[in-house]
Structure 1
Amino acid sequence: MASEGASNKNTVCTLCDKVGLKPFTKENVFYYYIPLHGVVSYSALAVNVMNPGFISKVLPKKDLTNVLLLSTLTGTAFYIYGRPHLRSVPNSRRGLYALLGGTLFSMGSVLAWALIRSVLPRDNAAVATIAGLASGAALVKLSTDYFTECDKLVAKN
């Protein structure tokens, strides 16, 4: 029986590894799972800004824009706060940098989506949704690549 429990634990760990999830530690919750939740919220925010009617159809009488924006900002701020290139910065200043970066990223994305939406055809919600998700994915990829490059510079020193 003991080996069966160990086998189940190994199966779960193997499944987590295949999916790409990390074990639940304090560090992973703050710097992996909260940012991961932020990315999910960011995707939903992209859909909400680019195709506002979609969310209202799924959740009538609920405007989730502010909740999604706050969740995106929080996830982004935790991601920035946990970056290795900021580890030598005092925590209070690091927190301010993280809040600034999270706010600029989130609000800048909303502005970019509003501009993109203004040039797209009004009657094609699918194109707007795809444009929002694609541009959001591109912004997340570009941003994470930037932070990875910053972290590499610190690792070299």
Structure 2
Amino acid sequence: MASEGASNKNADCTLCDKIGLKPFTKENVFHYYIPLHGVVSYSALAVNVMNPGFVSKILPKKDLTNVLLLSSLAGTAFYIYGRPHLSKIPNSRRGLYAILGGSLFSMGSVLAWALMRSVLPRENAALATIAGLASGAVLVKLSVDYFTDCDKLVDKN
């Protein structure tokens, strides 16, 4: 019976490894899964800002902009909070830095998308959607690279 439980646990871990997910631990929930949810919300926010008609067709009486914005902000803040280069900063200040970074990233992206949307042709919703998703992907990649480089500067001793 005990060996069945162990083999199921190993099978679950193998499945997680195959699809690229981390095991559910407290650390992974806060520093992997919540930020992952934030990236999904960020992508949906990009579509919502760049092509608001698309979301209104799916959910005609629901405006999810604020929910997506807050979820994106929370995911970004949890990501920043968990970065190694901030590990020696007191938790309260670290939390403030994380909220500031999440707010600037999320709100700055919304502003950039709104400006981008104003210069794109109104009749081409597909172009606006692709531009929003592509620019969001570039911003996320640059941000992750920036934090990775910052983390490399931390003395590991």
Q: Same fold (TM over 0.5)?
A: yes
Partner of 2:58: 58
Aligned partner of residue 114 in structure 2, secondary structure: helix
Structure 1: how far apart are the matches of 2:65 and 2:37? Answer: 15
For structure 1, the residue ranges without an aligned partner over 5 or more in a row are: none
Q: Does 1:139 align with 2:139?
A: yes
Mapping of residues 1-157 of structure 1, within 5 Å: 3-155=3-155
Q: Once the two structures are superposed, what CA deviation does each residue of 1:12-36 show, in whole Å capped at 9, x if it has no partner?
A: 2111101111111111111111000
Number of equivalenced pairs? 157
For structure 2, the residue ranges without an aligned partner over 5 or more in a row are: none
The share of aligned pairs that are identical, in percent, is 87
- Matched to 2:132, the amino acid is G
Q: How far 1:156 moved relative to its partner?
A: 5.8
Moved more, 42-51 or 16-25: 16-25
Structure 2: how far apart are the matches of 1:48 and 1:80? Answer: 24
Structure 1: how far apart are the matches of 2:27 and 2:4? Answer: 30
TM-score, length-normalised on structure 1? 0.95
Give the 4+ runs in structure 1 shifted more than 4 A. Answer: 1-5
Q: Once the two structures are superposed, what CA deviation does each residue of 1:22-55 show, in whole Å capped at 9, x if it has no partner?
A: 1111111111110000000000000000000111
Q: Once the two structures are superposed, what CA deviation does each residue of 1:59-87 show, in whole Å capped at 9, x if it has no partner?
A: 11000000000000000000000000000
Structure 1: how far apart are the matches of 2:147 and 2:155? Answer: 12
Structure 1: how far apart are the matches of 2:27 and 2:156? Answer: 23
Q: Once the two structures are superposed, what CA deviation does each residue of 1:79-107 show, in whole Å capped at 9, x if it has no partner?
A: 00000000000011000000000000000
- Matched to 1:68, the amino acid is L
